[in-house]
Amino acid sequence: MDIRTKSRREFMRYLATSPVVAAMAGMDFANGATAAMSPADAIDIFDLKATAEVNIPLAHWGYLETGVNDDETLRANRKAFEKYYARAKRLVSVADVDMSVEILGTRWPTPIILAPLGSQRGFHAEGELGSARAAKSRNHLQILSTVSSTSVEAVAEARDAPVWFQLYTRGGWEDVKTRLRRAEAAGCPAVVLTVDMAGGPDARHTLKRAIREDVRDCAACHEGSGIAAQGKPMLGGMSGDTAEMDLTWEFLERLRQETKMKVFVKGIVTAEDAEKSIEYGVDGIIVSNHGGRADESGRGAIESLEEVAGAVRGRTTLFMDSGIRRGVDIFKALALGADAILVGRPYIYGLGAFGQVGVERALDILTQELRIAMQSFGTPTLADIGPHSIGKF
């Protein structure tokens, strides 16, 4: 975290506690974002981000915002969207816009899915339960992280509908099977195997610097007798090593044989791996570079989507995440072949800013922006969005 970011954060904290803050609510902050005094004040996702930065503890903010090494891939995820432009069809009736999409036999009102993102109580006391209640309120599919700070059973209850379960392999095969059984018992229809974290988190330098600068005593949360004491109930009672298993194609086949849930693979970024995923019978692929947190490829995820979609050619369900911040970003991803998209940081900005109602506001913003994009470009349904809807500079 550089000195400009730190100074901006301190200034915004001052404003948040200042008696004149109401009069300054319209002040223009860096990158055009304005700290929102209420969810309704947030014009876009970046306003929610500005507010969340004030509220979230420094080390936790570093965890949320970190990339790898100098964050090149994290930045590339946003810059890569600028390489594509939308192509509009005119004189098309867009009075009625239908954003609904069918995923594994269930019809959802939008293609916007809440991505798995762990430790959400580190951003707001409501944590994953606040996100789940917002997903229920706005009827969005939610995927829960293995390193959630709330159990899959509690999140499914709060969502009042099945959630999907994202799988890390920490602890060995027996522990993996225990997690699969819990997810199945909680009604999860799909498991999402994340395959892009072989290098581990040690290269997250922005996080390391934020931890160094955070003056709080964090021992109560991050030390204790075992994983459960650290607030990761889906890892509680691990019997084996805390390291991740070595992920191979053989592991994927073993997973498919072990569970009745549909199996998605998250972290595919090349045509070759997409082809092989289909050969191994996956039910879906998620193009993702972990929001720039996994490796320093320097490549934007939307560019990987273009490559992967060209290989998939509609033969399996295809999602994309990493870098999406606006409705037009979603439109571009759909035009390049994604059936739906995942967002992580955008809804966590809402959570960190205002809890459940902030998540609802984030989802409303993205939904409305996607609706406007579809109207602007003459595509009243998702089926109308296709290769003709996009070009590349």
> d(Cα 159, Cα 148) in Å, to the nearest integer?
15
Assess whether 388 carries a catalytic annotation. no
Is 286 strand, coil or helix? strand
Fold (CATH) for 83-202+220-392:
TIM Barrel (3.20.20)
pLDDT one-digit tens code per residue, 175-229: 999 999 999 999 999 999 999 988 766 789 999 999 899 888 876 666 643 444 4
Backbone dihedral angles phi then psi of residue 317, each to the nearest 5 degrees: -65, 135
- What is the model's pTM? 0.91
Check if the beta carbon of residue 25 is closer than 8 Å to that of residue 40: no
> d(Cα 141, Cα 108) in Å, to the nearest integer?
8
**Residue 29 pLDDT grade (very low, low, confident, very high; cuts 50, 70, 90):** very low
Distance of CA 316 to the CA centre of its chain: 21
Query: What is 131-188 written as a DSSP string?
Result: HHHHHHHHT--BEE-TT-SS-HHHHHHHHTS--EEEE--TT-HHHHHHHHHHHHHTT-
What mean pLDDT, rounded, does the chain reach?
90
Provide CB contacts within 8 A for 166, sequence distance 6+: 116, 143, 144, 145, 146, 191, 192, 194, 266
> d(Cα 120, Cα 146) in Å, to the nearest integer?
12
> d(Cα 274, Cα 302) in Å, to the nearest integer?
15
**Residue 240 pLDDT grade (very low, low, confident, very high; cuts 50, 70, 90):** low
Backbone dihedral angles phi then psi of residue 342, each to the nearest 5 degrees: -115, 140
Q: How many CB atoms lie within 10 A of CB 263?
A: 21
Check if the beta carbon of residue 360 is closer than 8 Å to that of residue 130: no
The residue ranking higher by pLDDT, 8 or 281, is: 281
Given 140, 222, 290, 388, the catalytic residue: 290
Instruction: With a cut of 80, say whether residue 391 has pLDDT above it.
Output: yes
**Best CA proximity match to 62, nearest among 212, 199, 218:** 212
Q: How many CB atoms lie within 10 A of CB 350?
A: 33
Farthest-apart Cα atoms in the chain, separation: 65
